[in-house]
Copies of this chain bind each other. A is one copy, B any other.
Amino acid sequence: MDNQLSLFYGLSVLTAALAFAFAAYLYLWVKKQKTVNATIQEVAALIKQGANTFMRREYKVLAKFAIVAAVIIFVLLPSPIWQGGILDNVSMAVAYLAGTVLSAIAGKIGIMVATLSNARSAEAAQKGIKPAFLVGFRGGAVMGLLVVGCSLLGVAAVLMVTGNASILLGFSFGASSLALFAKAGGGIFTKTADISADLTGKVELGIPEDDPRNPAVIADNVGDNVGDVAGMGADLFDSNVAAMASALVIAQSLSGGAYSNISMVFCYAILGLLASIIGIATARIGKHGNPTRALNSSTYVTTGVFLVLTAIATAVFEGFSWRIWGASAVGLLVGVIIGITTDYFTDDTKPIVRKVAHASGTGPAFTILSGISYGFISALPAMIGIAVSALVAYKICDPMGEGYAIFGISMAAVGMLSIVGMIISNDAYGPIVDNARGLAEMGGLGEETIRTADELDSAGNTVKAVTKGFSIGAAGLTVISLLGAFMSEANDALAAAGKALITGFDIMSPNVFFGILIGAAIPAVFSAMLILGVDKNAQRMVAEIHRQFNTIAGLREGKPGVKPDYDKCIDIATGGALKELIPAGLMSIIFTVVVGLIGGPLAIGGFLLGNIVSGLLIALFMSNSGGLWDNSKKYIESGEEGGKGSSAHKAAVIGDTVGDPFKDTAGPSINTQITVVSLVASLLSSLFVAFSLFG
């Protein structure tokens, strides 16, 4: 290790500590805000308790899974324990567990702060948009800071201790395992509750959203937190770690100047975190300001600060290359462009959402057909963006020598994810103010306050589309570099076995092609299984709600003192989410193993590619269709196309219900599915080298 690298290890730890300190400050600031309304306090306590119940049960299942996985990793990886090198196996298993634990801690604290902020934001909304915005935003920022701080700290610690970047794949796989449970499980939970609450409350009984008589209402609010705060946080923790891990694996394999490349990865991650801290600290809104603009401008501040700081660092530090800076800048800029185009398809001030709202006037079939069509079209600019950034990053860095081109692509992913602290803050803001809106309604804070809360909520929805585009784009670039990481792992195994090395994955090779076709079908099947899981789970919950309305006397009429059994609904959502998620996760892993055992490493290369390409397409399609249906419904509810209660509105509600599991369950879980499969493939590369039918 050289001095420069030691410096950046030290700075990584310091910056992470700074992020934790700032998070602690924001936490105490939020905690200091007052709540006085007894109903709000009571409901907020129920939401908090519900979220904790889900997290506890999720973590319990996950712990079992993680222990089994850690044992398998210990026995088999990086190479079977009977071949010696036991220390590496211990490191790998410990790194894996550290990945799950760090992500779990970030999720746990994030949920704690989010469920603290919602009530405070609701009551602050009585004083105006400014204080309510700040509570929501700062509450969300705690999650953002924790996620990025933990990922930087974890990656730096693993590499400092082991000195072996391959061990980072274990850490990254830990993060992915947790993300799979948090994102897909949380996604099933939240949509089960949301759909069941809507179907029984709004549709059957005609009672308003967030009516406390509805047994699913607390589960619905819990769902926002576990799906969007914990789930999205774990997802981006996973992407961020995977991007850094793959960049570091490649950096370590580069001949000559490897240390400065490793330093550069850490330096950029540190500066990204600093830029996010600056962006969060300077987020401001006027007294009657526009919250969407406030959120977006903090994102742009962060982006600008990052580009300037990294340029300075590149000029100052020895061995840092402008080409690599260029690659990461391209990644970040393309991320911003993807965000803006996503916004075009999902923002209700733009034409697409209005066209779908208009089509709803002709009936629900047209809501669905136009939403699906525009969702498909919306994938094109993002796919082009990812394609162009990969091509440009490659071409910029290729002249630096062998291996640098792929390193450039991985640094484009690191660049795109550099502002992830800001992204998560914006994202976690959404469910906090969504909850705040519900609490304001349940606490009877009056129309003015609800309107303020509504405005904050709507900003959360719009910004969410942008952050989703970002995270999908980053996942796309990351997995390209994971493909590079897989090839380097497979070649290590091939070299050890004395076999010919892989020089690439030619699509004319039947094994590669075989892998591609099957890999492409997996994200489709995975998302279908999650959607069907929501469907089944919602049917169970609807039955339970019917049971409560039929057996609890006075509940339907809202007799004072009569309360539904909220816990039972939370229980169903929790149990069902974990039950439905596991087959989908296993299916992806089993297909990876089977394809590898049939076609060997070449088939796996193809499998990963097919998986990435169709995964990106389906994730973009589902996230954007879902977002545009949601906003079309809101647009009609604002009085357009006949307004609430019109036939267009009814059609739009159907579109929104279809879009719910698209955008909050399946779409964003595909990211995690892709990462999990890529890491399983890399980790098992020696198995596929040792045995395959046609390999």
A379 interface contact, C-beta 8 A? yes
The answer to whether A513 and B373 have CB atoms under 8 Å apart is: no
Interface-facing stretch out of A22-30, A244-252, A330-338, A521-529? A521-529
Interface-facing stretch out of A173-181, A297-305, A502-510? A502-510
A694 interface contact, C-beta 8 A? yes
Chain B residues with CB under 8 Å of A505's CB are 506-508
Among A363, A383, A534, chain B packs the most CB atoms within 10 A around the CB of A383
A445 interface contact, C-beta 8 A? no
The answer to whether B614 and A388 have CB atoms under 8 Å apart is: no
A501 interface contact, C-beta 8 A? no
Q: Which of A317-374 contact B (CB under 8 A)?
A: 359, 362-366, 368-370, 372-374
A384 interface contact, C-beta 8 A? yes
- Nearest CB in chain B to that of A370: its residue: B535
What's the nearest-Cβ distance from chain B to residue A374, in Å? 7
Chain B residues with CB under 8 Å of A470's CB are none
The answer to whether A383 and B616 have CB atoms under 8 Å apart is: no
**A406–B513 Cα gap in the complex (Å)?**
12
A484 interface contact, C-beta 8 A? yes
- Nearest CB in chain B to that of A527: its residue: B376
Among A369, A375, A394, chain B packs the most CB atoms within 10 A around the CB of A369
Chain B residues with CB under 8 Å of A658's CB are 365, 368-369, 372
Q: What is the size category of the interface that chain A forms with chain B?
A: 35 or more
Chain B proximity mask over A209-237: 1 for CB below 8 Å, otherwise 0: 00000000000000000000000000000
A377 interface contact, C-beta 8 A? yes
A581 interface contact, C-beta 8 A? no
The answer to whether B504 and A509 have CB atoms under 8 Å apart is: yes
Chain B proximity mask over A520-543: 1 for CB below 8 Å, otherwise 0: 110011011101101100010010
The answer to whether B528 and A617 have CB atoms under 8 Å apart is: no
**A387–B380 Cα gap in the complex (Å)?**
26
The answer to whether B614 and A614 have CB atoms under 8 Å apart is: yes
What's the nearest-Cβ distance from chain B to residue A153, in Å? 32
Chain B residues with CB under 8 Å of A514's CB are 387-388, 390-391
**A121–B531 Cα gap in the complex (Å)?**
44
A668 interface contact, C-beta 8 A? no
A511 interface contact, C-beta 8 A? yes
The answer to whether A510 and B390 have CB atoms under 8 Å apart is: yes
CB within 8 Å for A387 and B613 given contacts A362-B542, A535-B359? no
The answer to whether A199 and B362 have CB atoms under 8 Å apart is: yes
**A527–B379 Cα gap in the complex (Å)?**
13
A606 interface contact, C-beta 8 A? yes
- Nearest CB in chain B to that of A603: its residue: B391
Among A363, A386, A388, chain B packs the most CB atoms within 10 A around the CB of A363
Q: Which of A677-695 contact B (CB under 8 A)?
A: 694
A119 interface contact, C-beta 8 A? no
The answer to whether A390 and B513 have CB atoms under 8 Å apart is: yes
The answer to whether A525 and B377 have CB atoms under 8 Å apart is: yes
CB within 8 Å for A532 and B370 given contacts A614-B617, A617-B614? yes
CB within 8 Å for A661 and B525 given contacts A362-B199, A694-B391? no
Chain B residues with CB under 8 Å of A379's CB are 521, 524-525
**A247–B366 Cα gap in the complex (Å)?**
43
The answer to whether A395 and B694 have CB atoms under 8 Å apart is: yes
The answer to whether A539 and B362 have CB atoms under 8 Å apart is: yes
The answer to whether A654 and B504 have CB atoms under 8 Å apart is: no
Chain B residues with CB under 8 Å of A606's CB are 507
The answer to whether A613 and B380 have CB atoms under 8 Å apart is: no
- Nearest CB in chain B to that of A599: its residue: B391
**A476–B513 Cα gap in the complex (Å)?**
12
The answer to whether A517 and B387 have CB atoms under 8 Å apart is: yes
A405 interface contact, C-beta 8 A? yes
What's the nearest-Cβ distance from chain B to residue A412, in Å? 11
What's the nearest-Cβ distance from chain B to residue A149, in Å? 33
What's the nearest-Cβ distance from chain B to residue A681, in Å? 14
**A542–B363 Cα gap in the complex (Å)?**
13
What's the nearest-Cβ distance from chain B to residue A245, in Å? 19
- Nearest CB in chain B to that of A508: its residue: B504
**A504–B617 Cα gap in the complex (Å)?**
25
Q: Which of B380, B480, B483, B661 contacts A524 (CB 8 A)?
A: B380
Chain B residues with CB under 8 Å of A376's CB are 524-525, 527-528
- Nearest CB in chain B to that of A613: its residue: B520
**A465–B376 Cα gap in the complex (Å)?**
24
What's the nearest-Cβ distance from chain B to residue A70, in Å? 31
A610 interface contact, C-beta 8 A? yes
**A377–B531 Cα gap in the complex (Å)?**
11
- Nearest CB in chain B to that of A383: its residue: B521
Chain B residues with CB under 8 Å of A476's CB are 517
Chain B residues with CB under 8 Å of A480's CB are 513
The answer to whether A513 and B387 have CB atoms under 8 Å apart is: yes
Among A379, A513, A517, chain B packs the most CB atoms within 10 A around the CB of A517
The answer to whether A508 and B614 have CB atoms under 8 Å apart is: no
- Can you give 29 A-B contacts (C-beta < 8 A)? A363-B654, A363-B657, A364-B364, A365-B657, A365-B658, A369-B532, A369-B534, A369-B661, A372-B528, A374-B528, A375-B528, A376-B527, A377-B525, A380-B521, A380-B524, A387-B518, A390-B510, A391-B511, A391-B599, A395-B694, A483-B507, A504-B506, A504-B507, A506-B506, A507-B605, A517-B613, A520-B616, A520-B617, A614-B614
Q: A369-B657, A387-B517 are in contact. List 7 more A-B contacts (CB 8 A).
A: A363-B657, A368-B654, A372-B658, A379-B521, A380-B525, A387-B514, A504-B506
Q: Residues on A close to B: CB < 8 A?
A: 195, 199, 203, 359, 362-366, 368-370, 372-377, 379-380, 383-384, 386-388, 390-391, 394-395, 405-406, 409, 476, 480, 483-484, 487, 503-518, 520-521, 524-525, 527-529, 531-532, 534-535, 539, 542, 599, 605-606, 609-610, 613-614, 616-617, 621, 654, 657-658, 661, 694
Top-4 shortest CB links A-B: A504-B506, A365-B657, A394-B510, A373-B528
